[in-house]
Amino acid sequence: MRGYDERSYGDGFADVYDEWYADVTDVDATVRRMVALAGAGGSVLELGVGTGRLAVPMAAAGLRVVGIDSSRSMLGRLATRDSDGAVTAICGDMVVDLPDGPFDAALVAYNTIFNILDGDGQQRCFESVAARLRPGSAFVVEAFVPDVDRPSTSTSDVSVRSLAADHVVLSVSVDDPEHQRAEGQFVQITESGGVRLRPWSIRWSTPEQLDAMAAQAGLLLRARTSNMAGDPFTPDSAQHVSIYEKREAADGG
């Protein structure tokens, strides 16, 4: 998408993210999962921390949370939510600007890994995270499972996301399975505010591709479930939560 960069998504969605995506990534289950992995009082690195919807509850549970995001608009929302400053927020790229660590666990939730728009970048992200984890600690990746059986030709779609007496939100998207890319705009039209464009763009990877990236970075798949609550992952699962463990030093990690 011409003109799209790493800040476009966050800047476009910061003011509506908590409202539009309140029901994604079970917050309580995520907190329990990360406490179990990092240990009581452990340190957690969250990539794409956004508005702090997950980071602030994790900090409230006693975890020491560092979150990174490339959007100052998103981090502004985080600062408002986190009035006590419990979360350490960093404005930067989640491939090249990660803090030194070491961390007891890392998290990238709700497809955020796919905001890195090429496979090489996703690979470097795994390597950057692995370098900042303690041996034996975990990197948790939550993402959708792509439908690899659909036609490989590019398609486009226009649909209605929401409709009310005073506004309409249209979803306009293009899907390019051959290059594992999808992008689009939410076009918000209101009586009082006119037209607002909210762009998004992703480069998806299959669970198997993510596993290969993790292995190359010295991370081994410990477990895969269909959600943060730990329900079994099946061939019909629409999403996955994959827990990758950093190899102990003796294993070459």
pLDDT at 252 over 50: no
Fold of 8-146+205-251: Rossmann fold (3.40.50)
Euclidean distance between CA atoms 165 and 150, whole angstroms: 36
Percent of the chain with pLDDT over 90: 91
Could you read off the pLDDT of 174-187 as tens digits, one per residue?
999 999 999 999 99
Torsion sign over Cα 129, 49, 69, 161: positive
Q: Is residue 126 within 8 Å of 217, Cβ to Cβ?
A: yes
Pairing of strands 167-176, 155-164: antiparallel
User: Residue 151: its pLDDT value, please?
Assistant: 82
Residue found under tokens 């003011």: 15
Domain boundaries, the chain: 8-146+205-251, 155-202
User: Residue 35: its pLDDT value, please?
Assistant: 98
pLDDT at 126 over 50: yes
* Beta-sheet strands, E only, within the chain: 43-47, 64-69, 88-91, 103-108, 133-144, 155-164, 167-176, 181-190, 194-203, 219-225, 239-246
pLDDT at 253 over 50: no
pTM assigned to the model: 0.94
The CATH label, of 2.20.25.570, 3.40.50.720, 3.30.70.20, 3.30.450.40, for the domain at 155-202 is 2.20.25.570
Q: Helix, strand, or coil here: 10? A: helix
Euclidean distance between CA atoms 203 and 224, whole angstroms: 21
Average pLDDT over residues 45-63: 98
Residue 149 pLDDT class (50, 70, 90 cuts): confident
